[in-house]
Amino acid sequence: MRIAVDAMGSDRAPDVEVEGAVTASLESDTEILLVGDEAVLNEKLAKFTKHGAVSVVHATEAIKMNEPPVMAIRKKRDSSLMVAMRLVKENRADAFVSAGNTGAVVVAARTILGPLRGVARSAICQCLPTATGRVVLIDLGANVDCSTRQLCEFAEMGIAYSHYALGVENPRVGLLNIGEEVGKGGQVAKEVHQNLSAAAHVNFIGNIEPKAMYRGEADVVVCDGFVGNIILKTSEAVASLMGKLMREKLESSNMSKFGAVLARKSLYDLKKTIDPNEYPGAPLLGVNGVVIIIHGSSTPRGVSNAILGARTAFETKLNEHIHENIELLRKTRVIPLESSNETLKAPAEDSPEETPLAETA
């Protein structure tokens, strides 16, 4: 098992990538290829007395967070991101992990790896904490405008990830909507509801509101990338606000400080529950390879968990199961997915949506 890591992508690169890779390699038998400036990476690695099966692949450039994705991958062909992605394409690595520019990762994956057979559009998913465990939310921003077909395929991809990578038996699938009643939402939402309801192999529970999602009433929740990204960022903002308010209250008096000491373990467990670094990254599903994206501010623990998550996705043959699910969907549809609302607005040049593949390969 060999995993390529874009070592120059995060806000604190390459320190967190190097430490995370060393941790993951020592915890498993995973071989890790750190891609980036060879001299810098070797200097960082030398600080560890043991670093497992970690080696360096040289890349002369790095894509910054604020660079337009399409232009960045066109101009910086020897960037750490592009070199690492090509390692997967050339079968020199089994999976790819990056804490870099998300748009650039999506564009590069769609360009270099190409779409998974039968999948109309790739999508980003991630685990969010709930009252009973965790839920897979898909899509988180790779697609702003989605058709019926794409949303139904997101459901199938989310099911495969939840079942095979996370070990959830018969995942419950919900369609994020403004109400639970049948018929809520626009035409696309209604068509998605009809198709998923007709698919006997899908444990579809119908429309779901955010409050029910956070109560843990579904294992997979489907939405377009615009809504999903807002849900994700709002969740992060609320978690940050609640943490800030809690600290202020706990430090407001000696009695509160004493109570905080007594509740230290519970507070620590709560922090781990809502910390994205404790989850296996955000997979980009629907491309012909295993691609894991993590936040630019990730810690070494976040990098390590993403690497181990990539390993699990590859070992469980996640992409094969996604293809199987897509084939089942085609056999059970009640609305012609190919013709239903498939005309989308052309994306801007720096959008990760529908990148002109031939120009960037």
Whether residue 266 has pLDDT greater than 90: no
User: Are 162 and 23 contained in the same domain?
Assistant: no
Q: What is the pLDDT of residue 338?
A: 54
Give the C-alpha separation, 62 to 48, whole Å: 24
pTM of the model: 0.87
265 in any annotated domain? yes
What pLDDT score was predicted for residue 337?
A: 55
- Where is average pLDDT lowest: 111-120, 244-253, 345-354? 345-354
Please state which of the ranges 18-32, 118-132, 345-359 shows the lowest mean pLDDT. Answer: 345-359
Name the pLDDT band for 139 (thresholds 50, 70, 90).
Answer: very high
Assign 135 a pLDDT band (cuts: 50, 70, 90).
very high
Tell me if 13 is assigned to some domain. Answer: yes
Residue 108 lies in a domain: yes
pLDDT: is 45 or 253 the higher one?
A: 45
**Which of 1, 343, 312 has its CA nearest to residue 164?**
312
User: What would the mean pLDDT of 58-87 be, rounded to a whole number?
Assistant: 96
The mean pLDDT value of the chain amounts to 89
Share of the chain above pLDDT 90, in %: 72
Q: Is 360 a member of any domain? A: no
pLDDT number for residue 275: 75
**147 assigned to some structural domain:** yes
pLDDT score at 250: 83
In a domain, 282, yes or no: no
pLDDT at 344 over 70: no
Look at the chain and report how many structural domains it folds into. Answer: 2
Residue 263 pLDDT greater than 80, yes or no: no
What local confidence, expressed as pLDDT, does residue 347 receive? 37
Of 224 and 269, the structure prediction assigns the larger pLDDT to: 224
Please tell me whether residues 265 and 307 are part of one structural domain: no
Predicted confidence at residue 342, as pLDDT, reads 41
Q: Are residues 29 and 149 in the same domain?
A: no
Mean pLDDT over residues 105-121, rounded? 93
Q: Are residues 109 and 147 in the same domain?
A: no
Task: Indicate if 50 and 156 belong to the same structural domain.
Answer: no
Calpha distance 170→202 (Å, rounded): 8
pLDDT at 36 over 50: yes
| Beta strand extents in the chain (DSSP E only) | 2-6, 31-36, 54-58, 95-98, 123-129, 134-138, 172-176, 203-208, 220-222, 282-285, 290-293
- Residue 135 and residue 94 share a domain: no
- 105 & 131 share domain: no
Strand order, beta sheet including 282-285: 54-58, 31-36, 2-6, 95-98, 290-293, 282-285, 123-129, 134-138, 220-222, 172-176, 203-208
Shared domain for 239 and 292, answered yes or no, is: no
What pLDDT, on a 0 to 100 scale, did the predictor assign at position 152?
Answer: 95
Asked whether residue 183 is domain-assigned, the answer is: yes
Q: Is residue 346 included in any domain, yes or no?
A: yes
Q: What is the DSSP string of 243-266?
A: HHHHHHHHTSSHHHHHHHHHTHHH
Whose CA is closest to 282, among 156, 145, 96?
96
Whether residue 350 has pLDDT greater than 70 = no
Q: Quote the pLDDT of residue 349.
A: 38
Q: What span, in angstroms and rounded, lies between the C-alpha atoms of 4 and 97?
A: 6
Residue 185 backbone dihedrals phi, psi, to 5 degrees: 85, -175
pLDDT score of 334: 64
Contact 1, 94 (CB under 8 A): yes
Q: In the predicted model, is pLDDT for residue 348 greater than 80?
A: no
* Residue 212 structural domain: 122-277+318-355
CB 251 within 8 A of CB 205: no
Domain co-membership, 165 together with 19: no
CATH number for position 263: 3.40.718.10
| Window from 42-51, 191-200, 239-248, 341-350 with minimum mean pLDDT | 341-350
**pLDDT tens digits for range 281-325:** 999 999 999 999 999 999 999 999 999 999 999 999 999 999 999
Pick from 25-29, 200-204, 259-263: least confident: 259-263
Q: What is the mean pLDDT of residues 331-353?
A: 48
Same-domain pairing of 98 and 165: no
Domain co-membership, 65 together with 141: no
Based on the domain organization, do 215 and 334 belong to the same domain? yes
d(CA 53, CA 286): 29
